[in-house]
Structure 1
Amino acid sequence: MPMDAAPEAAADDYVVLGKLTSPYGVKGWLKVYSYTDPMEGILDYPEWILVQRGTQHVYRVAGGRRHGKGLVAGLEGVETRERAEQLAGAEIRLAKQQLPRLEPGDYYWHQLEGLRVVTREGVDLGFVDYLFETGANDVLVVRGDADSRDAEERLLPFLPDEVILEVDLEAGRLTVDWDPEF
């Protein structure tokens, strides 16, 4: 059983940590696909907000561990495979205010998404649509829009002090050293 229905709030008050994919075993455990880095980081949060078919409920994590290349977790009140099947596909969320504070100069991806991207010369390249990992560094996907120089999509490496000159979360702007022709 869920602890309680999660309080209604705007979707941008939460960050998605992962999702429940399928039952694991017969005692109600579930396979977990984690978006955290490292993947086990999702298990550091004692309560998850599960969102499924427009409803959300808070569940306390009873246990979790690495299993093969993924994770499995048990939730309080979910003690049968049938109950776990009902939760398969649920999105795992956390209220943003529960995220650990970062060191100055470090950012969560959700903080960068939506920022306007402007060159040091003041040329508007668009907004950060999303990010992805390459192994060497994270990459910003910048989409042009009606307010930008053009409608191009650009891939910018997230390299502080090289490409990324300033991140101003309050102003909603990211200043970059980038040739708009590239």
Structure 2
Amino acid sequence: MSDRVCVGAIAGAFGVKGEVRLKSFTSEPNDIASYSPLWTEDGQRSFSVRLTRPVTGGLGARLSGVETREDAEALKGVTLWADRDKLPSLPDDEFYHADLIGLAVYDTGGVLIGKVRAVYDHGAGDILEIFGPGRKQTLLLPFTRAFVPTVDLAAGRIIADPPEEEEGE
């Protein structure tokens, strides 16, 4: 597990005085400001965050050290990371996506299926993208107790019960 978790991204400038359009990846979007300071992925820069107003496609925010529209535009696409110890602890059956990516996935018989490459949420629940040796394409598996009965972060593995694949898939 890393010391930081991605909690948002800068979608671009908003206005002319250095305000940014912020996309929050937190379950309650406004909570992102309470996890300040937020860091760039490489850890080179940090920002304190003050939310200003809701804007189309996200939140308006002021970041420390960002004073002009040009400063804000230069940050477009930058992901923002919070220190893990500032984030709320989760119930036993909930996980941060960052903690699932890279975990080995085994079937219920102990055979390695692959590793979690990504976690998607398209609105109907999380989906794990699993890629492994010998696979022609990735396996997309609903992240539900029926398909993923065990997640063992300490051991770095997931036990999955995927549906049977048909020949040719």
Q: What's the TM-score bracket when you normalise by the shorter of the two chains?
A: 0.7 to 0.9
Aligned position for 1:63 = 51
Aligned position for 1:47 = 37
Q: Is the 8 A contact 2:51 2:59 kept in 1?
A: no
CA–CA separation in structure 1 for the residues paired with 2:114 and 2:152: 15
Q: How does 1:3-18 map to 2 (within 5 A)?
A: 12-18=2-8
1:157 alignment partner AA: P
Helix, strand or coil for the counterpart of 1:128?
strand
Aligned position for 1:110 = 98
Deviation at 1:88, TM superposition (A): 3.3
1:159 aligns with 2:151: no
Helix, strand or coil for the counterpart of 2:70?
helix
1:67 alignment partner AA: V
1:13 alignment partner AA: D
Among candidates 68, 76, 80, match of residue 80 of structure 1: 68
Higher relative strand content:
1
Segments of 5+ residues of structure 2 without an aligned counterpart are: none
Deviation at 1:172, TM superposition (A): 1.0
CA–CA separation in structure 2 for the residues paired with 1:117 and 1:55: 30
1:95 alignment partner AA: D
1:172 alignment partner AA: G
Deviation at 1:18, TM superposition (A): 2.3
Q: How does 1:20-31 map to 2 (within 5 A)?
A: 20-31=10-21
CA–CA separation in structure 2 for the residues paired with 1:151 and 1:47: 41
**Percentage of pairs with the same residue:** 35
CA–CA separation in structure 2 for the residues paired with 1:87 and 1:176: 39
Aligned position for 1:6 = none
Segments of 5+ residues of structure 1 without an aligned counterpart are: 1-10
Deviation string 1:115-170 (CA, Å, 9 cap, x unpaired) is: 1111111121111111111322211111012xxxx32421111112x111111111
1:163 alignment partner AA: F
1:178 aligns with 2:150: no
Deviation string 1:73-92 (CA, Å, 9 cap, x unpaired) is: 01234333233234334321
TM-score, normalization: structure 1? 0.78
Deviation at 1:180, TM superposition (A): 5.1
Q: Is the 8 A contact 2:35 2:87 kept in 1?
A: no
